[in-house]
Amino acid sequence: MLKKRIGQLAVTLLACLPMLAGAAEPAAGAVAKMPLRLGVHAGVNRIVEVTDAPWGVYADGVGYGASLSFDARYKFLPWLYLHSEIGIDYRYFASDYMQMGFDCDCESGGNWSGKNKDYLLSLEIPVLAQAHVRDIIYFELGPVFDFLLMRKSEFYIPKEHRSDKCHEDRTFGAGASFGIGHVFSSGLFVDVHLMYRLTDVVSVDKTCGSYTVSWGSSRTDAGTESVTQGSRYIDESIVGSYYLFNKVQLGVGYWF
C-alpha cells in the first residue's frame, strides 16, 4: 500500500514538473531584471610586494591568501552596473627556509633556523563600475579601500638578536582594481581581478638607517683627554621610498 502511494506521488510530481518549470522561468526573468541584486563572492589571491628597497616589509615579498565578501550590484543601464563589495581579505607570506649562526655566550648558542612569516587580515571595499558586452563578458574598473585589522609576524631569529625593520603598518590604504568576468543565467559568476595598491602599506622611518662617525681629541693641563665628536649619516639606500603591492585574484560568486 505504501509503495503504491509513493508511486502515485512520484507520477504526480513528474506530471507537475512542466508547470513548475513554466512558473519558475518568469520568476527568474523577474529577478534578473531587478535593479538591485545581492550576492556572495569568494576568491584566491597571489600578492607581490613592490618596493625599491633591498628587502621588503613582508617575508619573501610574495604571498598567497583568500577572500570572502558580500556583494551588491545596481543596474543603471541594461549594460552598466555599479558593483560594490565588503569583505575579509586574508594574506600569508613565508620566506624560504634559512639558517644563521655565530659564536656567542647566549643560551641558544647563536644558531637558528626556520622561516619568517607574516599573517595579515584586512577589511576590503571595492567600488567598481561594471560594463557588460552582451551576455558574453563584463569589465570592471574602480577604486579599492582597505583597513588593516590584524598583522602577526613570526621570525626564526629571537628578538634579542635581531634588528626589527624600520616601519609601522598603516591601517588605511587605497588602490585601483581592474577585472573581467562572466555571469551565467543561473546567477553564478566567475571573474579575474588585478588590484594595484596606490598608497604605502607602511610608514618608514628613514633615520633607522643612520650611523655616527666619531673622531677628535683635545689636550688639557692634566694630560691628553679624548673628546668624542661626530656626525650622523643616514643611509637611505637600506630603506625604500615606496612599499606597494600587486594582487591577482581568481574568484567565483553567486547573485541571488
Contact (Cβ atoms closer than 8 angstroms) between residue 127 and residue 140? no
> Are 41 and 69 within 8 A, CB to CB?
yes
List, in sequence order, every residue forming a beta bridge with 84; answer none if it has no partner. Answer: 72, 127
| 10: DSSP letter | H
What letter would DSSP give residue 237? G
| pLDDT per residue as tens digits for the range 117-176 | 999 999 999 999 999 998 899 999 999 999 999 999 887 666 555 555 567 889 999 999
Locate 105 and state its grid cell: 655566550
Phi first, then psi: give them for residue 209, nearest 5 degrees: -95, 20
Q: Which residues contact 45 (CB under 8 A, 6 or more apart)?
A: 64, 65, 66, 67, 89, 91, 247, 248, 249
CA dihedral for 165, 168, 169, 174, sign (positive or negative) = negative
Q: Is the pLDDT of residue 225 over 70?
A: no
Q: Where are the domains of the chain?
A: 34-206+242-255
**51-104 pLDDT tens trace:** 888 777 888 789 999 999 999 999 999 999 999 999 999 999 987 666 665 555
Amino acid at 143: P
Is residue 95 within 8 A of residue 115, CB to CB? The reply is yes
With 0.75 as the threshold, say if the pTM is over it: no
For cell 527568474, the residue is 28
Cα–Cα dist 154/112, whole Å? 13
CATH number of 34-206+242-255: 2.40.160.20
